[in-house]
Structure 1
Amino acid sequence: MELQIKQHNGFKYVDEGQGETLLLLHGLFGALSNWQGVVEEFARTHRVVIPMLPVYDMPLTRAGISGLVDFVEDFTQAMQLTQPAVVLGNSLGGHVALVYALRNPQRVKQMVLTGSSGLFEDGMGGSFPRRGDYQYVQERVAYTFYDPKVATKELVDEVFDVTNSNAKCLRIIAIARSAQRHNMAKDLGRIKAPTLLIWGLNDTITPPVVAHEFRRLLPHSELHFLDHCGHAPMMERPQAFNRLLQQFLVPAAGPAATPA
């Protein structure tokens, strides 16, 4: 299934299927295609919406967590997403989802975080840009995954192109620094939405200890680890990720799942 990118009111996005809305948010070096497996599986039963976050071209004065949350709020209003949605975020997208949930609790029915920033992240933003060094970029992209083969040449080429643009690099650095400054430890207890944490057991960017801390601080959360998996479980272990997501969306009768 090839994702069809649509445009409306200046927004670029994917919008597939009908039903309850799944709002998907990608990471700093992410793309709409990162959620391919989720779209293919859940567009049959849900409306799956993925906005293209303006991480490379938003006004530099707004390049940060707050500006990205403003963007998501504007997007949901333009798309008339008035009913509470299930909000999913990977890496930086998880951080944006958390702040969005704090600002708009009435719009978030459930939340799914995977490799989320917001507490600690050993990401690429602190060491970029390193212009013209393809091998370095290749190594950093591979570092994201347990299996370096997931870092395809196409994916590496995309990131390499980004790092060779001064304008894009300035925004990446600004957003990465904003995320590092914006620690959410004191705020997470105010999030009431049921939250599913799906974490790669081999995540080197937001390691398992970060997942455990999210589980401790989010009052209505459950945590599941996927072995042989790095920072983007929905890409590296799509079937297992989708299975956990399905169980979360349609919970069995009985008490909530216990943390992993």
Structure 2
Amino acid sequence: MGKLFALMCLALLMVPAEANWLNDINRKVRSLGAEEAQFATPLSALELADYPAQYQYQRVMVPSHDTPLFVLQAGLEHQDTVVLIHGLGDLASKDWLSVIPALAEKYHVVAIDLPGFGLSQGAVFTYSPKEYAKVIDWVIGQYRHAGQVRLVGHSMGAAISLYYASQYPGRIEQLVLVDAAGILDRTAYIKHLSTRDNDQADLPQGVRRVLARVDNFTDKMLEKTGTGFDPTRIFSSDSSVRNMTIGEQTNMNAALALMEQNFSVLSYQQLPATQIIWGAQDTIAPLRTAYALQHVLPLSQLHVINDAGHVPMKSHPQVFNSLLLTSLQASATAHPLRAANVSQRVGRCFQDDQTHFSGQYQQIILNDCKLVRFDHVDTQQLIMTDSILNMAKSRIGAVGQTMAVTRSVITATDTDIVGRMNSDRSRLDFAGVTFYGESPVFVSQASTRLVLSLTRIITATQSTRLGGSYVLAEQSLESAL
């Protein structure tokens, strides 16, 4: 064999460089290492009973995990490929059956059952975004056509797609996220599940203030558990323990692995143009997640279906399909810069005599206000004492300014904080928040709790991505990292 290889090499050296067949041989040699699909157990008529007959179906083996994978293809005549990734649940790729016909008119569609789900039952491993991303990369390499590749994920599948796009840059031209689950820090998510809507006009203000205090106490207890012992860490620390106990319980295996992934630390600057589609009434993945994602994704556009819940393609199929097709043909643009704040207006609240703020202010002062909301607020200065504030799409502070938050609670989403924020015995829940200024940008003067999701610190010397729960004594946030 060695002599034969030597003779082949000698023969190749003697051939003129311009010979076309030499290039053909080189391409074939390079292709020897490519992993081709090997078929697994054939699909039965019973297994395909719920699927339309006109599509193409295969069950192949994924080489990276030696696991069977169910693959559906439609619109084979088209060059641009759309890959669909489902979420948790027993239906797997069936969740897309109301979507595929509309897509197949313009695109080559590839829908899979993730390993462990649907018709891809087989090998047991940690069903994490990292491992599933390897599977998706193999699928794209194996099934893509000559045109562009667009990746569409729903719920857990959206989170996996987001992780894939961050870890495999340049492999897809567009990303579509539908009601992505598992993105927020787990403490922020649990707090969402326990929170009621107290901003109801038919409730007296005194009642709403009491309810706000009750919810505040509940959140405080939940935040304490976020920094305490977490029994799920037992499974994440030892894969053998996980596989022996919950390995074959696919939904639990995948859900725990999703919770363990810190999406806040991913690099979002290199992601492709992203379209975000969300059901406004989603109780599983709150709309707050969409706004936080939009904050960190440099090229993104958000579409909200007002009456839809967590699975908009089923509850509102026509609206969803129209929106998805439009999104796949759209080009997301960078977020516009906010106008310079030159306002001299001062906003004040004492015991909730003014609860809603919007627009530009030079300064806002809150004292004993439990029902305050900021929507599209731009203020150069914020002073809070004994208050509870919920703000979104806002810019707080200014270069060289220091804001004071004392014995207060802030929930902020899609917000920029400029300058420095001092906290004294306060609690803050930030999702899609960016600190700009000179380090330190956040200083705790006494006992501060922070729950951070998709949060960043950007100074002249550093750019840091943050997520998780923190308890600060007399120290800066940077010193706790």
Q: Which residue of 2 aligns with 1:193?
A: 272
Report the Cα distance in structure 2 between the residues aligned to 1:255 and 1:53, rounded to whole angstroms: 32
Report the Cα distance in structure 2 between the residues aligned to 1:257 and 1:20, rounded to whole angstroms: 27
Once the two structures are superposed, the pairs formed by residues 116-155 of structure 1 within 5 Å of their partners are: 116-120=180-184
Q: Which residue of 2 aligns with 1:49?
A: 110
Q: Which residue of 2 aligns with 1:20?
A: 80
Are the counterparts in 1 of residues 153 and 178 from structure 2 also a CA contact under 8 Å? yes
Closer, same or farther in 2 for the Cα pair 1:248/1:112, shift >3 Å?
same
Closer, same or farther in 2 for the Cα pair 1:61/1:53, shift >3 Å?
closer
Are the counterparts in 2 of residues 82 and 107 from structure 1 also a CA contact under 8 Å? no
Are the counterparts in 2 of residues 21 and 85 from structure 1 also a CA contact under 8 Å? yes
Q: Residue type matched to 2:284 in 1?
A: I
Report the Cα distance in structure 1 between the residues aligned to 2:315 and 2:334, rounded to whole angstroms: 26
Q: Which residue of 1 aligns with 2:319?
A: 240
Q: Which residue of 2 aligns with 1:2?
A: 52
Are the counterparts in 1 of residues 57 and 72 from structure 2 also a CA contact under 8 Å? yes
Q: Residue type matched to 2:136 in 1?
A: V
TM-score by length of 2: 0.41
Residue 94 of structure 2 corresponds to residue 33 of structure 1: yes
Residue 235 of structure 2 corresponds to residue 177 of structure 1: no
Are the counterparts in 2 of residues 185 and 217 from structure 1 also a CA contact under 8 Å? no
Q: Which runs of 5+ in 1 are unaligned?
A: 124-165
Of residues 90, 95, 102 in structure 1, which corresponds to 2:154? Answer: 90
Moved more, 45-54 or 237-246: 237-246
Report the Cα distance in structure 2 between the residues aligned to 1:64 and 1:58, rounded to whole angstroms: 16
Q: Which residue of 2 aligns with 1:140?
A: none
Q: Which runs of 5+ in 2 are unaligned?
A: 1-50, 62-68, 191-245, 337-392, 394-481
Closer, same or farther in 2 for the Cα pair 1:36/1:188, shift >3 Å?
farther
Are the counterparts in 2 of residues 94 and 116 from structure 1 also a CA contact under 8 Å? yes
Aligned length: 215
Q: Displacement of 1:51 after TM fit?
A: 1.3
Q: Residue type matched to 1:72 in 2?
A: I
Q: Which has the higher helix share?
A: 1
Q: Displacement of 1:90 after TM fit?
A: 0.2
Are the counterparts in 1 of residues 300 and 333 from structure 2 also a CA contact under 8 Å? no
RMSD, aligned α-carbons: 2.7
Relative contact order higher in (CA < 8 Å, ≥ 6 apart) = 1
Are the counterparts in 1 of residues 133 and 163 from structure 2 also a CA contact under 8 Å? yes
Report the Cα distance in structure 1 between the residues aligned to 2:137 and 2:330, rounded to whole angstroms: 28
Closer, same or farther in 2 for the Cα pair 1:64/1:249, shift >3 Å?
closer
Once the two structures are superposed, the pairs formed by residues 63-78 of structure 1 within 5 Å of their partners are: 63-78=127-142
Q: Residue type matched to 1:16 in 2?
A: A
Residue 226 of structure 2 corresponds to residue 168 of structure 1: no
| 1:166-225, Cα deviation, whole Å (9 max, x unpaired) | 7631x3222211111112123252343111111000000001111111111111111111
Report the Cα distance in structure 1 between the residues aligned to 2:295 and 2:102, rounded to whole angstroms: 30
Q: Which has the higher strand share?
A: 2
Are the counterparts in 1 of residues 80 and 145 from structure 2 also a CA contact under 8 Å? no
Q: Percent of counterpart pairs with the same letter? A: 26
Are the counterparts in 2 of residues 88 and 113 from structure 1 also a CA contact under 8 Å? yes
Q: Displacement of 1:118 after TM fit?
A: 4.1
Q: Which residue of 1 aligns with 2:329?
A: 250
TM-score by length of 1: 0.73
**Structure 2 counterpart SS, 1:105:** coil
Are the counterparts in 2 of residues 89 and 97 from structure 1 also a CA contact under 8 Å? yes
Moved more, 85-94 or 114-123: 114-123
Q: Residue type matched to 1:35 in 2?
A: W
Q: Which residue of 2 aligns with 1:60?
A: 124
Q: Residue type matched to 2:85 in 1?
A: L
Q: Displacement of 1:78 after TM fit?
A: 2.9
Report the Cα distance in structure 1 between the residues aligned to 2:97 and 2:283, rounded to whole angstroms: 23
Bigger Cα Rg: 2
Q: Residue type matched to 2:255 in 1?
A: A
Q: Residue type matched to 1:209 in 2?
A: R
Report the Cα distance in structure 2 between the residues aligned to 1:59 and 1:174, rounded to whole angstroms: 13
Closer, same or farther in 2 for the Cα pair 1:242/1:80, shift >3 Å?
closer
Q: Displacement of 1:58 after TM fit?
A: 5.2
Closer, same or farther in 2 for the Cα pair 1:24/1:198, shift >3 Å?
same
Are the counterparts in 1 of residues 116 and 123 from structure 2 also a CA contact under 8 Å? no
Q: Residue type matched to 1:221 in 2?
A: S
Report the Cα distance in structure 1 between the residues aligned to 2:283 and 2:304, rounded to whole angstroms: 14
**Structure 2 counterpart SS, 1:62:** coil
Q: Which residue of 2 aligns with 1:79?
A: 143
**Structure 2 counterpart SS, 1:106:** coil
